[in-house]
């Protein structure tokens, strides 16, 4: 008989709906039941594509004896961290403070007042490698709750007090300047891996937000070292196993320093961010590799993550059936020499093994290899390689596919909208722009209410119950601003403005200029989450700052610009110290130092050839964070177009800062030179 999770929209929660555990979703009713029954709360947090979440579910939550113990002695609450990043952030902070590490599944024991008192992540079904079994943990917590409840309450109170007393170093309300950005670049240089690309050791995550900073810094200052780090890192990732050499798109991270062995889950946010990174790298360098990867990643998102409603699903699982009934990580993606021979025949299998680095010993597990590109492409016949790649992709399509988390997350769809809109515009792919428009339309229809409040998630066109957090507002506004620049449709600027006005009203501390991750009227947790550092995605703080700055550049709004500048004070404090973890904030600071530039393209219509040439040149400019408004001279859709006439009847482009413009030009080449200086 299904439990309460059967009524949820989260695919992760629905995966646990048939567990014998009497799960509750996160709700006041769950904590009321804990208070009524005098039981502690087990909080289990994970997400659909999490490998170890599936392992613990199979080992423990599907076990009848474990479920009976839980149902008798605990109120069990299951949370999808992607639906409730606020709940996840608050308790992950406690886990990391108590244990020095974190991860998922996250396992936290709470009092009925939601105060944490014992922490962990994955627990095995039997003691292993110094870890207690999950049953031992449950029995220990039950014993402490029964016999030493006052002590437990005291511990919980101290933990909550400690969390409440933690403060972020805001750095004041002054945005970073040349000195801080130069120090951030120096810090990145020290952590850079010159042999392999990327930063730090294993595991290695794609540093998409840091690369955006490096590209913007190079565009503004001409620093070749910044461009070199960005270019080499992108090439190493694109040629490694972290990139799907057959179907396009990136895995979550590499478990090794060389980008060879990925953790195979594919997340929408990684691919949206990296699609945009490679498109921007192509814009800066003309790299054929960057162009190919940007387009393949965009096509992957549209082909494999797009939902029937036009949005984009959250993720593909790391695991899939290996053909024998076992769910194995990476089974869909890896190849043995024998599998190559079955798909291609002996001659082409030999070529494929050399081209993709497939060995008899294997680079992964059980003699299988992750496909990568260890040699330069020019060593091989391009037509033959294309044929081999196509046949392998066709053969792979016959394997059991990884599961898909069909939940639509507002923030991640905002990132995808920006990436697809710009990639479609750069490479003359109107189908990608159309995909971005469809996703934006879904967000407006399903996620946005009459008061411009966002819902965090939806599934099958039905909005979830959880309020949007700051990253949703920042990233969706960023996507809408990109659409406005690409399409010349001012309605997307208007929608971005609605969202950002809500940010000013609900997320900003008026005294300090600091930003909170949840709205002032959101559900109260034991701490109001507030984190300016990037993780897998831009922090809500940096995302909002960037969108506020872009909107101000479009409209001349001083309140929005001032809010962006004040928010960047934290980048002044943290950028020189931890640049790897505030890359998007540094990228936004680069835009602020450059202006950002405002480009108005006026013409009879975007379908007009001369207008289109100026518009495309404006979009391809590398000036950090530049905004583009395009339309008829008499149009009122964009404030930037007001008072900007045609020049002797011809379409013209105006390059401005703070609405003060240089002399207009009708020459795309002259515009290109202006934007590159």
Whether the pLDDT of residue 94 is over 80: the answer is yes
How much is the pLDDT for 100? 79
**Rounded Cα–Cα distance for residues 299 and 276 (Å):** 13
- Token pair 């996250």 is found at 106
Residue 487 pLDDT exceeds 90: yes
Q: Determine the 3-state secondary structure of 532 from DSSP.
A: coil
Cα–Cα distance for residue pair 225/218, rounded to 1 Å? 8
Determine what percent of the chain falls in helix, strand and coil, rounding each to the nearest 5: 50, 15, 35
Which residues, in sequence order, are bridge partners of residue 204?
Answer: 254
pLDDT at res. 24: 96
pLDDT higher at 484 or 346: 484
Residue with tokens 């934290």: 570
User: CB within 8 A of 122, min separation 6: which ones?
Assistant: 52, 55, 56, 103, 105, 107
Burial of 663 (0-12, 13-18, 19+ CB in 10 A): exposed
Which SS3 state, helix, strand or coil, does residue 521 take?
A: coil
95-111 per-position pLDDT tens digit = 888 787 888 999 999 99
| Average pLDDT for 53-60 | 93
Please tell me the distance from the alpha carbon of residue 90 to that of residue 503, in angstroms, as a whole number: 21
Q: What is the pLDDT of residues 428-483, one digit of tens each?
A: 999 999 999 999 999 999 999 988 899 999 999 999 999 999 999 999 999 999 99
Quote the radius of gyration of the chain (alpha carbons, Å): 26
The pLDDT of residue 669: 96
Candidates 373, 545, 418, 404; CA nearest to 474 is 545
Residues in the chain: 677
Q: In terms of Cα–Cα distance, which of 531, 571, 544, 521 is closest to 88?
A: 531
Please write the tens of the pLDDT for every residue from 640-660: 999 999 999 999 999 999 999
Dump pLDDT digits (tens) for 555-572: 999 999 999 999 999 999
Q: Is residue 606's pLDDT more than 90? A: no
443: three-class secondary structure by DSSP: helix
Q: What is the pTM of this model?
A: 0.95
In sequence order, what are the residues at sequence separation of 6 or more whose Cβ sits closer than 8 angstroms to the Cβ of residue 568? 175, 176, 545, 585, 588, 589, 592
Nearest to residue 82, comparing CAs of 264, 262, 267, 265?
Answer: 267
Q: Is the pLDDT of residue 603 over 90?
A: yes
Average pLDDT, the chain: 94
Beta bridge partners of 451: none
Per residue in 202-227, pLDDT (tens digit) is 999 999 999 999 999 999 999 999 99
Longest CA span, the chain: 88
Q: How far is Cα 478 from Cα 84, in angstroms, rounded to an integer?
A: 21
- Cβ–Cβ < 8 Å for 265, 317: yes
Percent of the chain surpassing pLDDT 90: 84
Q: What is the residue whose two structure tokens read 């196993």? A: 241
3-state secondary structure of 665: strand
- How far, in whole angstroms, is CA 202 from its chain's centroid? 20
Tokens 């404030």 belong to which residue?
639
pLDDT for the residue numbered 376? 78
């Amino acid at each position: 008989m299904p439990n309460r999770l059967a009524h949820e929209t989260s695919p992760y929660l629905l995966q646990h709906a048939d567990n014998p555990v009497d799960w509750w979703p996160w709700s006041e009713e769950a904590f009321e039941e804990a208070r009524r029954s005098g039981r502690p709360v087990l909080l289990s947090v994970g997400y659909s594509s999490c490998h170890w979440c599936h392992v613990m579910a199979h080992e423990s939550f599907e076990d009848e004896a474990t479920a009976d113990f839980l149902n008798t002695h605990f109120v069990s609450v299951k949370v999808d961290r992607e639906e409730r990043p606020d709940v996840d952030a608050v308790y992950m902070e406690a886990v990391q403070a108590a244990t020095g590490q974190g991860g998922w599944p996250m396992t936290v024991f709470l009092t009925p007042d939601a105060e944490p008192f014992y922490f962990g992540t994955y627990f095995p079904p039997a003691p292993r490698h110094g870890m207690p079994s999950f049953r031992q943990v449950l029995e220990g917590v039950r014993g402490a709750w029964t016999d030493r409840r006052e002590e437990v309450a005291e511990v919980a109170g101290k933990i909550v007090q400690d969390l409440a007393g933690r403060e972020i170093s805001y750095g004041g309300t002054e945005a970073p300047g040349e000195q801080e950005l130069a120090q951030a670049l120096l810090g990145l240089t020290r952590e850079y891996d010159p042999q392999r690309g990327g930063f730090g050791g294993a595991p290695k995550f794609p540093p998409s937000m840091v690369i955006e900073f490096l590209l913007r810094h190079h565009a503004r200052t001409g620093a070749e070292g910044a461009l070199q780090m960005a270019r080499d890192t992108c090439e190493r990732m694109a040629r490694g196993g972290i990139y799907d050499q057959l179907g396009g798109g990136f895995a979550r991270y590499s478990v090794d320093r060389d980008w060879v062995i990925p953790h195979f889950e594919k997340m929408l946010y990684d691919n949206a961010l990296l699609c945009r990174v490679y498109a921007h790298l192509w814009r800066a360098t003309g790299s054929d590799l960057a162009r190919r990867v940007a387009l393949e990643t965009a096509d992957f998102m549209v082909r494999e993550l797009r939902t029937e409603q036009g949005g984009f699903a959250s993720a593909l699982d790391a695991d899939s059936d290996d053909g024998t009934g076992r769910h194995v990580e990476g089974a869909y993606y890896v190849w043995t020499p024998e599998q190559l021979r079955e798909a291609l025949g002996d001659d082409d299998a030999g070529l494929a093994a050399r081209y993709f680095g497939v060995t008899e010993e294997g680079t992964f597990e059980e003699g299988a290899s992750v496909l990568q590109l260890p040699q330069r492409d020019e060593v091989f016949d391009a037509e033959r390689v294309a044929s081999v790649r196509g046949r392998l992709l066709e053969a792979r399509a016959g394997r059991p596919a990884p599961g898909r988390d069909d939940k639509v997350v507002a923030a991640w769809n905002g990132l995808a909208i920006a990436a697809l809109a710009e990639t479609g515009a750069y490479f003359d792919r109107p189908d990608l722009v159309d995909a971005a428009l469809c996703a934006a339309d879904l967000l407006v229809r399903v996620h946005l209410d009459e008061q411009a409040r966002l819902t965090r998630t939806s599934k099958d066109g039905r909005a979830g119950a959880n309020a949007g957090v700051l990253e949703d507002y920042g990233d969706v506004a960023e996507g809408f601003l990109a659409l406005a620049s690409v399409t010349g449709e001012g309605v997307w600027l208007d929608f971005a403005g609605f969202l950002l006005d809500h940010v000013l009203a609900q997320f900003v501390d008026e005294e300090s200029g600091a930003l909170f991750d949840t709205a002032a009227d959101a559900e109260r947790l034991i701490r109001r989450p507030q984190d300016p550092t990037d993780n897998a995605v831009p922090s809500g703080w940096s995302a909002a700052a960037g969108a506020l700055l872009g909107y101000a550049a479009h409209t001349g709004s001083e309140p929005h610009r001032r809010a962006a500048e004040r928010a960047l004070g934290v980048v002044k404090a943290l950028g020189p110290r931890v640049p790897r973890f505030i890359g998007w904030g540094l990228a936004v600071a680069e835009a602020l130092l450059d202006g950002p530039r405002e480009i108005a393209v006026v013409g009879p219509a975007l379908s007009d050839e001369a207008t289109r040439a100026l518009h495309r040149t404006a979009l391809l400019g590398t000036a950090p964070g530049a905004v583009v408004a395009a339309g008829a001279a008499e149009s009122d859709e964009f404030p930037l177009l007001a008072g900007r006439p045609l020049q002797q009847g011809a379409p013209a482009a105006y390059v401005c800062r703070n609405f003060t413009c240089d002399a207009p030009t009708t020459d795309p080449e002259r515009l290109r030179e202006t934007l590159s200086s």
